[in-house]
């Protein structure tokens, strides 16, 4: 199996620009015998879609431009925002057009929601951004998350200051935190979560996603 995965923009310790994916993804999918196909540009995107069995849209510290959901930004837009938004939206469209599975994580859930017409809270006051801190989330039955974990609630991490405000039409909210933040949505071939299962080394989550794709192929 081959999964496309969005690379992210950042700066090295020396200040040079780079595109990357976190090592956690490499380690997890190596264990699952899945080849990741990192994508950082629109070049030959049609061929990427043909080659890959699905798409993972990962997190990023760079926010989505609020103009994409009809709002003015409340803070300065990062110089790479437009490029990253364009890539995310193009990949979501291409993979969705051919009904291939899409997994969104953190910024990924936000990009998916905005692409399909939803909106975001630009900033959640006093929201913590800690990799190792956990909070409770509740799952809806008859959902990918409930089927995966066989429970109605669990502890997840929190590394975001934005979240879904208006849910895109056609999407079902399948997870919420105790303070009402939307933590998971799904629609047909798309599942997306606000937290970072890769930082939790959550093999069950990614294995279930991979198995769903494999079962669909057969």
Q: Give the active site residues.
A: 106, 196, 198
DSSP state of 77: P
Radius of gyration of the CA atoms of the chain, in A: 16
Residue 214 has which token pair? 């494999």
Q: How far apart are CA 93 and CA 112, in angstroms?
A: 9
Q: How far from 118 is each of 2, 69, 208, CA to CA, in Å?
A: 29, 7, 27
Close Cβ partners of 6 (under 8 Å, ≥ 6 residues apart): 38, 39, 40, 55, 56, 57, 58, 87, 88, 91, 108
A 10 A CB-CB count for 147 gives: 12
Question: For residues 199 and 212, is the Cβ–Cβ distance under 8 A?
Answer: no
């Amino acid at each position: 199996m081959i999964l496309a995965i969005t690379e992210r923009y950042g700066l090295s310790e020396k200040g040079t620009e780079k595109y990357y994916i976190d090592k956690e993804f490499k380690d997890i999918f190596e264990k699952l015998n899945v080849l990741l196909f990192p994508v950082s540009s629109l070049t030959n995107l049609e061929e990427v879609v043909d080659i890959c069995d699905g798409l993972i849209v990962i997190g990023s510290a760079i926010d989505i431009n609020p103009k994409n959901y009809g709002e003015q930004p409340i803070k300065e837009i990062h110089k790479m925002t437009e490029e990253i938004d364009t890539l995310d939206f193009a990949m979501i469209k291409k993979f969705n057009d051919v009904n291939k599975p899409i997994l969104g994580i953190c910024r990924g859930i936000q990009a998916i929601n905005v692409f399909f017409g939803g909106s975001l809270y630009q900033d959640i006051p006093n929201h913590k951004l800690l990799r190792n801190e956990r909070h409770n989330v509740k799952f809806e039955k008859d959902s990918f998350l409930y089927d995966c974990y066989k429970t109605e609630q669990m502890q997840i991490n929190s590394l975001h200051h934005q979240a879904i405000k208006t849910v895109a039409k056609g999407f079902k909210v399948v997870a919420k935190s105790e303070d009402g933040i939307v933590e998971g949505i799904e629609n047909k071939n798309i599942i997306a979560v606000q937290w970072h299962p890769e930082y939790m080394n959550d093999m069950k989550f990614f294995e279930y996603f991979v198995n769903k794709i494999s079962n669909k192929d057969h």
